[in-house]
Amino acid sequence: MTDLKLPGRLGDPDMTFGDDPRADSRIAQAMALMELAPGLENLPLDAGYEDCLNYCMAFEQAAQLGDPMMWDAMPDFSDLETSTEVIQGVDGNDITLHISPPKNRTGPLPGIVHTHGGGMVLMTAEDPASVRWRHSLAQKGMVVVGIEFRNGGGRLGPHPFPAGLNDCATGAKWTIANKEDLGISSIVISGESGGGNLCIATTLKALKEGWVAGIDGVYAMCPYIAGSYAQQPADLLSLHENNTYMLDCAQMASLVTVYDPTGESAKDPLAWPLQANIDELKGLPSHVISVNQLDPLRDEGLKFYGKLVRAGVSATARTVNGTPHAGDMSFADIAPEITAETLRSIHGFASSLG
């Protein structure tokens, strides 16, 4: 009998994404070329707030080095209109909305309110990865509204929880109020990673505050919703199985510190939606929870999906095999059919709700 081996680092503590037989070989080759920028070594789990803030700034600065190449690879989106709208947040701050509808449309289209990734503490809606994703969604036949929310760290910080969530809720409310003028038939809030957290948390906030009827659905990609990365609970096996595959639990613990410096919100579902109990989920609109097979965050997304089902919420889960965290969004030029399938899935979901 052939010996059975547990997957990933459960079976081999030294396993890397590139060595994992489940990995898409094209993505593995691309990741092998990525080098860790100097000074971006993971911080210790007990790192202080200021050190974690400095890590966020260094991470963003390193990420920006790749921006020129990403702009050069940007597809032609001349079939879209683009504009911005500046609205006021609940804290008196300005919030920029990036609006991308297709040109020459003949009637209302599904709408996507996009909350970008970055652990709620990093990156911006104007980064090329976010621009490309929003425009790719719009090109499928949707009106996309991207929210430039305040971050916990980086160049749009430091604004800990709930600042970014407040901005996302304000942007969603504005979209709902302007639905007819925007030519939107249905509204889906969607985001990846930290944006996956914020799209779910915005909808939970809407439920608590009584305006959830304006949100038709949620499409959360690889949601970063547990908050317990320093503890690595045993029931979230993917935190052990896929640790260091693009994301590292120590790295994510540092981002948690930036988002919630005192730790007072560790059990708050608006900060970490996986903490919601079944009763707190009842009455939510339809959800799709999309996870990546080789992502440390995979199992928290699937666990949240299970809670949604038990709460009576219409919910679907999908796993994108062979990919790391947000791999179906991040490797469009390397594995285009994987990206195309996720774009079709989002468009199909949003269209079904109109």
CATH number, domain of 149, equals 3.40.50.1820
CA atoms of 16 and 340, how far apart (whole Å) = 26
Decide if 177 is inside a domain.
yes
Per-residue pLDDT, 44: 86
Per-residue pLDDT, 43: 87
Per-residue pLDDT, 35: 66
Q: Look at the pTM and tell me if it is higher than 0.95.
A: yes
Decide if 25 is inside a domain.
no
- Domain tally, the chain: 1
Decide if 1 is inside a domain.
no
Q: Which residues of the chain have pLDDT under 50?
A: 1
Decide if 11 is inside a domain.
no
Q: Residue 244 belongs to what domain range?
A: 41-352
Per-residue pLDDT, 141: 97
Per-residue pLDDT, 1: 44
Q: Is 215 exposed, middle or buried (0-12, 13-18, 19+ CB in 10 A)?
A: buried
Decide if 7 is inside a domain.
no
Decide if 28 is inside a domain.
no
Decide if 16 is inside a domain.
no
